[in-house]
Structures are given as C-alpha cells and as structure tokens.
Amino acid sequence: MEETDVKEKILKGAEELFKKYGVRSISMDDIARHLSVSKKTLYQHFADKEDIVTMACKAHLEKNAKEFERVMETAKNAIDELAKLSVCLKRNMQDLNPSLLFDLQKYHPRAWAEWVNHKNKFIRCSVVRNLKQGIEEGYFRPEIDPEVIASMRLELVQLAFDEEIFPREQFRLTEVQMQIFDHFVYGVVTDKGRKLYQKYKEVNHHQPSTIL
C-alpha cells in the first residue's frame, strides 16, 4: 500500500472511533486494534495521538466543506440551499458523540483551533453569502443584518453540543440541532420564503436520497 493510503486509512479509522466514542476515551491502542495495524505503524505516520486528532479533524472539516460546496453549487436558491443543508446536518449529527466538540476544546487545542478557523472563515462566509442571496431573492426578511445573524448562527451550531446547556439524559444532539436549525430558517424567511421552505422540506422528507 502507498504511504499516503496508509495515512488516510489511519485517519479515517480514527475519525470513525472519535465520532462514536468521543476523543478522550480513545487511545493509540484502540486505533491500532480497530485498524488491525501495529502501534509501530501508527507512530511511523504520526508523532502522537494529538497529531492524529488534529489531522483527522482537519480531514473531516475539509470533507464537510466539500459537501457544503456541492450543496451550494446544486441549490436552486437560498431556501433550497438551507433545505439541503438541513438534510446534511441531520445525517452528520446522527451517531455523533456529543462530547466530541468539547473534548477538542478542553484537551486538543490544535484540533480545536482547526474548528474555530473553519467556523470563522468557511462557515461564516457561507452563511453571510446565503443570507445576502436570500434577501436579494425576496426569500429572507430585508431587515436582518447578515453579519449579526451569521455570528449568532455560528455560535448556535456549537451551543447544541454544550452538555451543560443540553444535558444528554434530557436532550438528543440531533433533535437539538434540528430544532435550532429550523428555528434559524423560520427566523430569517419572508412569507414567500416560508412557503418555499415548507415545500422543499416536504419533498426532501419523501426523497432524502435524491437531494445531493
């Protein structure tokens, strides 16, 4: 196998484990066992667990960005984009361990910095652009300030992971994210946008696999 293939395989395997169990509880031993490789192989490609966490986080965010870009390219308008993102978000949240994000913040500053950078650059730009486009198309309320509403949206993505605010014995991550996402959309739309969002949601609900 090519060296880059091995590296990618390790990152993919580590990502699977982190998503399922969070980052904190997963050791180099766990990763080696999950991939049926020796620990020596892991250390040939990565300095330590911190290195794997950072690289896996980076790879995951790049994959996410590509997925979002595909949505933007194929979306017919700002509302269609949100309806499609809603399906992606739901899929991405399912089976995700809610402690993942705050594990990074507390124990993996380099990976956390990757997320903050992704949030403040890529996601912020996408949200602001979507809001401006929706206003121009007459689907979003012209009174909204795209910069304020985008900043709010970015924080809310993160908020849903906060177990102090949404304790896991009371709330499910996917449920919280979807409640907050839907509230976000209803908060920005005009009457015309609202009708269209409901229509798209209805369609995606019946044919979720065709949206991308």
Residues near a second copy (CB under 8 A) are 141, 143-145, 147-149, 151-152, 155-156, 159, 165-166, 170-171, 175-176, 179-180, 182-184, 186-189, 191, 194
CB of 58 to a second copy, least distance (A): 24
H or E element in which residue 74 lies: helix 49-74
CB of 88 to a second copy, least distance (A): 20
Between 165 and 212, CB nearer to a second copy: 165
CB of 18 to a second copy, least distance (A): 25
* Residues facing residue 189 across a β-bridge: 140
Reference 87, options 201, 180, 1, 175; nearest CA is: 201
**Is the separation of the CB atoms in 22 and 97 below 8 Å?**
yes
Between 125 and 212, CB nearer to a second copy: 125
Between 38 and 179, CB nearer to a second copy: 179
H or E element in which residue 80 lies: helix 78-93
CB of 105 to a second copy, least distance (A): 14
Between 6 and 154, CB nearer to a second copy: 154
**Is the separation of the CB atoms in 41 and 32 below 8 Å?**
yes
Q: Sign of torsion, CA 90 91 97 103? A: negative
